[in-house]
Amino acid sequence: MHTDQVRATLARQHIETPSWAYGNSGTRFKVFAQQGIPRDAYEKVSDAATVHRFTGVAPSVALHVPWDLVDDWGKLRAHAEDEGVSLGAVNPNTFQEDEYRLGSVCNPDPAIRRKALDHLLECVEITQQVGSKHLSLWFADGTNYPGQDSIRERQDRLSEALAATYAAMPEDMTMLVEYKFFEPAFYHTDLPDWGTSLLHCLHLGPQAKVLVDTGHHAPGTNIEMIVTTLLREGRLGGFHFNSRFYADDDLMVGSADPFGLFRIMFELVQSDAVTPDAGVAFMLDQCHNIEAKIPAQIRSVMNVQEATAKALLVDLDALREARASGDVLRANGLLMDAYATDVRPLLAQVREDLGIDPDPLAAYAASGYQQRIESERVGGAAAGWGA
Amino acid sequence: MHTDQVRATLARQHIETPSWAYGNSGTRFKVFAQQGIPRDAYEKVSDAATVHRFTGVAPSVALHVPWDLVDDWGKLRAHAEDEGVSLGAVNPNTFQEDEYRLGSVCNPDPAIRRKALDHLLECVEITQQVGSKHLSLWFADGTNYPGQDSIRERQDRLSEALAATYAAMPEDMTMLVEYKFFEPAFYHTDLPDWGTSLLHCLHLGPQAKVLVDTGHHAPGTNIEMIVTTLLREGRLGGFHFNSRFYADDDLMVGSADPFGLFRIMFELVQSDAVTPDAGVAFMLDQCHNIEAKIPAQIRSVMNVQEATAKALLVDLDALREARASGDVLRANGLLMDAYATDVRPLLAQVREDLGIDPDPLAAYAASGYQQRIESERVGGAAAGWGA
Amino acid sequence: MHTDQVRATLARQHIETPSWAYGNSGTRFKVFAQQGIPRDAYEKVSDAATVHRFTGVAPSVALHVPWDLVDDWGKLRAHAEDEGVSLGAVNPNTFQEDEYRLGSVCNPDPAIRRKALDHLLECVEITQQVGSKHLSLWFADGTNYPGQDSIRERQDRLSEALAATYAAMPEDMTMLVEYKFFEPAFYHTDLPDWGTSLLHCLHLGPQAKVLVDTGHHAPGTNIEMIVTTLLREGRLGGFHFNSRFYADDDLMVGSADPFGLFRIMFELVQSDAVTPDAGVAFMLDQCHNIEAKIPAQIRSVMNVQEATAKALLVDLDALREARASGDVLRANGLLMDAYATDVRPLLAQVREDLGIDPDPLAAYAASGYQQRIESERVGGAAAGWGA
Amino acid sequence: MHTDQVRATLARQHIETPSWAYGNSGTRFKVFAQQGIPRDAYEKVSDAATVHRFTGVAPSVALHVPWDLVDDWGKLRAHAEDEGVSLGAVNPNTFQEDEYRLGSVCNPDPAIRRKALDHLLECVEITQQVGSKHLSLWFADGTNYPGQDSIRERQDRLSEALAATYAAMPEDMTMLVEYKFFEPAFYHTDLPDWGTSLLHCLHLGPQAKVLVDTGHHAPGTNIEMIVTTLLREGRLGGFHFNSRFYADDDLMVGSADPFGLFRIMFELVQSDAVTPDAGVAFMLDQCHNIEAKIPAQIRSVMNVQEATAKALLVDLDALREARASGDVLRANGLLMDAYATDVRPLLAQVREDLGIDPDPLAAYAASGYQQRIESERVGGAAAGWGA
């Protein structure tokens, strides 16, 4: 691709940040408190808008219900618009009430399943009210001990809940069905892998697509293979980007596996699925347990951009030729050449094209925003998982 | 299940052994030669028949082409019948010629793809000639280096070959589509997981089903979850049983993970899929690199039987109740009670019901078969991977 | 071993339960509240004593500081004695204050290191006051991002803190140095494996030994190999038993990997290290996120007993012979024969020898203890991680 | 580090290539034959010298005995000198004879242990005759089945063999003790991890050091942590570089995990251990199953150089400051800045400093060497594992 096209493509990228990344988070061992943490959804949206202001490519923010519950969704939407962003994917929560101890939509108790389903249906409503097109489903459902529950009957229950939710969706809404290898369930997870998610999507219909969280796989899994298979099937709904060395570490995307991120992006490039018109949602889903939240989100957006830029620079014509001739070293070399390229100058140009500072982290640091929120956001309960 | 039913069920079990388990095998580091190894398909079939004679539940033997190539398939079939067994799944080989360096049906070179497809079609023929209903496909296809070939185009090529093969199959033949996490491809594998296999099967039609090799998964994968999902979808074609601690170690089934094997069997029990009429093929696929081949096959068959027996002993009524009431410890306890049971006496009875010695290993040792083959099978080339 | 000896050995087994297993626990996603949870260390000790009453082999309880902080350690000790148990290993906590965001004894800030060290020294004191011989150290220290801190300098800091703590210990105290593959640190952990723990122990002196938590290893790690190596070196301090399918799942020991637990026990048997006089501490370290706490501890103790019983039943003479003759199948078969044995009747006898009910779970259920604590323990803050 | 220093350091780097990389290799499924493969040790040395000619930093070649057995080691040494390289580490082979089915130095049979030890002692001799200082030990020893042999007694046997070999070494020889997670042993490996290797080295003496093969770890293992611990202990003997996605894939170093390679190099930089005077041997150990051998070795050497160059470019002063102030994002950012740098121009300069072509792969392709060996090396047996 010519550099001009690369720049134009990068300028059109859309990377959604999650409201929950701006709140406190941690591990089961400890949630470390930070300063300047938002106390409600409005302040989270403001932080997300700040990230957009400094990166130029993060124009929407994902919501988590009930963590982001507000009295008036229209008002939150207006606030977002004032801040220059839109509200994105709506993420229901069916794992943080004591009743969900044995699962939500897969729970053996029909009353609890009903409660969970009602929440899903409520979120279909909210998705419309906030002007979003994405209902993003992740279930913590599973079991901890062999024998604990019927794996098969739980699939039936899951099917039923998904079908009822799907039926309630308007035609322009997409259901994103996420999967996860393990945690918080430690024996079996009801949606453990892309295959199970896809199978449910195929039974549901064309508005159901698979959501790939880059931290939700078994060790060694080739994620770009999954991405390609889903693209080929027309069922890649989007990404929850983050990075991991071990399990679902939820580190900043690109920090643990920059080469892996690049390989995923390269599959998207080859299937022409980098820009928003391809219908693949790029979303971050991360925890900044020990680092500053807003700069970490900025850095993460930049990491996705850099991986994308490198992927766009691969010489596809030469690659096609090398592949056809079976020249393993040359084909691999062409990929690595793009990866070895320093794309930071190119991205500085993209930012100038977008009318923003070429160095987002420095600009943010100089902006005084962090100091302001640290001094202003005093009192109230800092947002976190659960609020 | 009442003990009588358990015994009857166990007596009807059918576990196919693979012809290649009787030949020499090893790792890339060394194939250790053993004594008494068969020199051709006839001798392999005789060994398989011996395993059946001493276990009573291994009445068929899987073939590998061209390792088991004979001039006259009808003659091999007659030999098998004389020995008291039938010929089972036919396994094509598209990985042991220099032309397959970059893959077989996914190779970038159309001529090589054609050659591979021709071999698959030949095997459809052979499957019919040997009186088998199972064409069992495993492809070594994949790449070793990022960029080496187009993952997506390789899927297209794979689709095409599978469709052409499927089209050539008679209506009573089942295509088993195996997948493997890695090896011999070390970057991406064209059929890496059950989801990819299932997706191809869904596109092909009802005669295509997924084959689960218990050693072909990422670390930590919950195999019984996959089994259940495939059963629920009506697409579990069968198993290649073996055991592993690390990768595709191909140890004796049940030797590394007896509890895991039991859990798989328990899912089959719950879906009533243990006996042959359920249409799920139980096949061994193992390497006896350092242990004696025939006793290792006997032991493996026994291990499958023991896991099945334990699974059949789970008190399903009590379990249903414990699950419905959300009693985690009791539900798990009911499963573990069955697992803790010593089923060796029960299986001794099953063997007596079948009219064979209750102690297959001792009976084999006392039979003189091993001494006979060691003294008779002198000269000629011992069978192995590749012959 | 003769059955009499096996029974005698099992009756002398000592399995310590952890005070924190009786409080609420969970994942980062949710801590589900249960009824009857202890509100302080006294009530935890009572629960532990109850487990001992019904199992007969759990006569001590491990403490966690400050979770179990009391005004008067002597009083807690007297309470324990009244209840029929003793206070066991003391576990300092250097991970639950905001200052420990970047580590405790490895923190780049010397003031925070000092604070952590002071806590360790305080715990040396407490260990003596509660009449225990075990200081049990686990550090959450590590980093989340490459480059974040100097791996090497953190080792120097760790060394220094361990040396200062070791110097403060009386001669009859043992320092147990635990390691963990990952979590809560997600890039590097300062004590990630047994090798690092052992190296520090070797530099410290003979009172420092390695603590093996069965959930703290990389996927596929052969734990019994580590156990044997440490035994051979005289540096196996003890175990934190639990069970896992994926990461540090902290499930009931023996529930995910009963065969693995048996293999560990068999190594201990071969090195004559099953009973307390061998100096290897058997401790549970588990989380009962969704199941009832006390019955889960009872079940866990029973699981350790069953694995031990099976290991004691291996015919070592026959095994020695099979190994010497290189008979792989027979040697493996001898091990599997012991594993296949149903040892529940044997353990019922052991319990009768100990003067307790042969069915601990049924006896506990019938005792009314659970109902009593659920009705009595109302008001106050339920104990959990952090209190 | 100033660019001048970086250039000077890179020019002094020493990366040893292995004789066996020039022969055919493969998986247990197939060894694909290539053209122009050496037929003996002399031709392998010529190929290694060619890699040195085009990279300037690969001045020695490791030997494998008996694969590289020659009648006259002095003559091979002279040939190497003529070609401009020296003979490097000597690697004994104790895994490719039928007698080693149950192990070599750990075998239960003392006669086989003696045979293996004699081979080790022979290799101590050969190491001296070829003018090398490194005896490089890797054992395939282990077991496939639980119970098969005594893990502990095998450690005793291993100890004994290592001690006898160590005792035979002259004072200026270093014993490198390699470890491997698994393969070809599939239950337990006698030297499975760095901790076991180190423990043996500590018992042997200062001339014994640990050899880190980058493909020999459990999934997720932080290799740079191991490297740092061994450096801190003064026991890092060297590396066998290669790359992997799954197991011991033996891909070209830096092809699967360029960021991981960079992180290892960065630890070496921080401990000042990049150049040969630090006493850490940099060796490649790879299999080029499907790609051309010599260009793959050249590429691998270049990959090590690029990772080293990036590591040398990290701003250590700024990093020290960021770390001291606990600025996680800045510390990580400084590392990533160096990693993002395109070091290919810098390495082109280094090559010009060394008087060689700045583009080694193009220069090799243009040299006609490949065509020459393909036409000349006809007849005879192509070298491979086993010859």
pLDDT one-digit tens code per residue, C233-242: 999 999 999 9
> Hey, what are A272's tokens?
């022409």
Say yes or no for a CB contact (<8 Å) between A329 and D220: no
CA angle A226, A228, A234 (to 5 degrees): 105
Partner D contacted by C246 (CB < 8 A): no
Say yes or no for a CB contact (<8 Å) between B181 and D246: yes
- pLDDT tens digits, one per residue of D89-109: 999 999 999 999 999 999 999
Band (pLDDT 50/70/90 cuts) for residue D230 is very high
Instruction: Give chains near D: 3+ CB pairs under 8 A.
Output: A, B, C
Say yes or no for a CB contact (<8 Å) between B193 and A193: yes
Phi, psi of B74 (to 5 degrees): -60, -35
CA nearest B152: which of B190, B183, B180?
B190
Q: Cα(A191)–Cα(A182) distance, rounded to whole angstroms?
A: 9
Residues in chain B within 8 Å Cβ distance of C333 = 299, 361
| B121 pLDDT higher than 70 | yes
What DSSP line would sit under A51-85, residue for residue? Answer: HHHHHSS--EEEEEETTT--S-HHHHHHHHHHHT-
Band (pLDDT 50/70/90 cuts) for residue C2 is confident
Q: Cα(A320)–Cα(A308) distance, rounded to whole angstroms?
A: 20
Q: Three-state secondary structure along chain D?
A: CCHHHHHHHHHCCCEEEEHHHHCECECCCCECCCCCCCCCHHHHHHHHHHHHHHHCCCCEEEEEECCCCCCCHHHHHHHHHHHCCEEEEEEECCCCCHHHHHCCCCCCCHHHHHHHHHHHHHHHHHHHHCCCCEEEECCCCEECCCCCCCHHHHHHHHHHHHHHHHHHCCCCCEEEEECCCCCCCCCEECCCCHHHHHHHHHHHCCCEEEEEECCCCCCCCCHHHHHHHHHHHCCEEEEEECECCCCCCCECCCCCCHHHHHHHHHHHHHCCCCCHHHCCEEEECCCCCCCCHHHHHHHHHHHHHHHHHHHHCCCHHHHHHHHHCCCHHHHHHHHHHHHHCCCHHHHHHHHHHCCCCCCHHHHHHHHCHHHHHHHHCCCCCCCECCC
Average pLDDT over residues A114-136: 98
Partner C contacted by B332 (CB < 8 A): yes
Q: Cα(A373)–Cα(A97) distance, rounded to whole angstroms?
A: 31
Partner C contacted by A290 (CB < 8 A): yes
Average pLDDT over residues C8-29: 97
| B341 pLDDT higher than 90 | yes
Whether D165 contacts D205, CB under 8 Å? no
Partner D contacted by C247 (CB < 8 A): no
Residues in chain C within 8 Å Cβ distance of D335 = 146-147
- pLDDT tens digits, one per residue of C199-213: 999 999 999 999 999
- pLDDT tens digits, one per residue of C274-298: 999 999 999 999 999 999 999 999 9
Longest pairwise C-alpha distance within chain D: 66
> How far, rounded to the nearest angstrom, does the alpha carbon of residue A368 sit from its chain's CA centroid?
28
Which position has the token pair 């052994």? B17
Q: What is the pLDDT of residue A2?
A: 86
Say yes or no for a CB contact (<8 Å) between C220 and B219: yes
| D24 pLDDT higher than 80 | yes
**Distances, alpha carbon D154 to alpha carbons A177, C328, D158, in Å:** 51, 15, 6
Chain A, residues 30-89, CB within 8 A of chain C, namely 30, 32-33
Say yes or no for a CB contact (<8 Å) between C222 and D196: no
SS3 B284: strand
Separation in Å, CA of D307 to nearest CA in chain C: 15
Say yes or no for a CB contact (<8 Å) between A332 and D255: yes
Q: Cα(A173)–Cα(C204) distance, rounded to whole angstroms?
A: 63
The overall average pLDDT reported for chain B is 97
**Distances, alpha carbon D385 to alpha carbons B26, D31, D170, D240, D243, in Å:** 14, 10, 29, 17, 19
Q: What is the pLDDT of residue D292?
A: 97
Whether D142 contacts D183, CB under 8 Å? no
Average pLDDT over residues A78-82: 98
Residue of chain A whose Cα is closest to the Cα of C30 = A96
- By DSSP bridging, strand A15-18 and strand D281-284 are unpaired
Average pLDDT over residues A109-120: 98
Average pLDDT over residues B362-382: 97
What DSSP line would sit under B292-341, residue for residue? Answer: -HHHHHHHHHHHHHHHHHHHHTS-HHHHHHHHHTT-HHHHHHHHHHHHHS
Residue of chain D whose Cα is closest to the Cα of C323 = D149
| A387 pLDDT higher than 70 | no
Provide the residue type at D54 as one letter. F
State the complex-level ipTM: 0.97
CB atoms within 10 A of CB C84: 12
Which of D98, D109, D152, D335 to substitute to test the interface with C, most C CBs within 10 Å?
D152
Residues whose CB falls within 8 Å of the CB of residue A20, separated by 6 or more in sequence, listed in order: A44, A64, A67, A383, A385
Q: How many CB pairs under 8 A join A and D?
A: 55
Which of B186, B253, B255 to substitute to test the interface with D, most D CBs within 10 Å?
B186
Q: What is the pLDDT of residue C297?
A: 98
Residues in chain A within 8 Å Cβ distance of B222 = 187-189, 192
Q: Cα(C89)–Cα(C64) distance, rounded to whole angstroms?
A: 8
Beta bridge partners of D236: D210
Average pLDDT over residues C324-350: 98
Say yes or no for a CB contact (<8 Å) between C184 and A30: yes
Crossing angle of the two packed helices D41-55 and D293-312, in degrees rounded to 10: 40
Residue of chain A whose Cα is closest to the Cα of D310 = A340
CB atoms within 10 A of CB D29: 17
Which of B101, B107, B109, B149 to substitute to test the interface with A, most A CBs within 10 Å?
B149
- pLDDT tens digits, one per residue of B2-40: 889 999 999 999 999 999 999 999 999 999 999 999 999
Band (pLDDT 50/70/90 cuts) for residue A166 is very high
CB atoms within 10 A of CB A6: 20
Domains by residue range for chain B, with CATH: 13-314+356-376 (3.20.20.150)
- pLDDT tens digits, one per residue of B133-179: 999 999 999 999 999 999 999 999 999 999 999 999 999 999 999 99
Partner D contacted by B244 (CB < 8 A): yes
Average pLDDT over residues D335-363: 98
Q: Compute the CA torsion angle B330, B336, B340, B341 (nearest 10 deg).
A: 70
Residues whose CB falls within 8 Å of the CB of residue B180, separated by 6 or more in sequence, listed in order: B138, B189, B191, B192, B213, B216, B248
SS3 A16: strand
Average pLDDT over residues B217-245: 98
Q: What is the pLDDT of residue A1?
A: 77
Which position has the token pair 């403060």? C168
| B100 pLDDT higher than 90 | yes
CA nearest A192: which of A154, A235, A244, A239?
A154
Q: Cα(C332)–Cα(D286) distance, rounded to whole angstroms?
A: 34
Average pLDDT over residues B56-64: 98
CB atoms within 10 A of CB D173: 17
Residue C21 is inside which H or E element, if any?
Answer: none
Better pLDDT: D315 or A2: D315
Nearest to D96 among B30, B181, B249 (CB): B30
CA nearest B200: which of B105, B64, B92?
B105
Helices (H), chain C: 3-11, 41-55, 73-83, 110-129, 151-168, 194-204, 223-233, 258-270, 293-312, 316-324, 328-340, 344-353, 360-367, 369-376
| D387 pLDDT higher than 90 | no
> How far, rounded to the nearest angstrom, does the alpha carbon of residue C27 sit from its chain's CA centroid?
19
Average pLDDT over residues D121-137: 98
Residue B266 is inside which H or E element, if any?
Answer: helix B258-270
Q: What percent of chain B has pLDDT over 90?
A: 98
Prior bond to A295 cis, omega within 30? no
Provide the whole-model pTM: 0.98
Which of A106, A107, A152 to substitute to test the interface with B, most B CBs within 10 Å?
A152
Residues in chain C within 8 Å Cβ distance of D333 = 147
Band (pLDDT 50/70/90 cuts) for residue D1 is confident
Separation in Å, CA of A293 to nearest CA in chain C: 14
- pLDDT tens digits, one per residue of D148-186: 999 999 999 999 999 999 999 999 999 999 999 999 999
Band (pLDDT 50/70/90 cuts) for residue C387 is low
> Hey, what are C78's tokens?
């007297």
Whether C235 contacts C277, CB under 8 Å? no
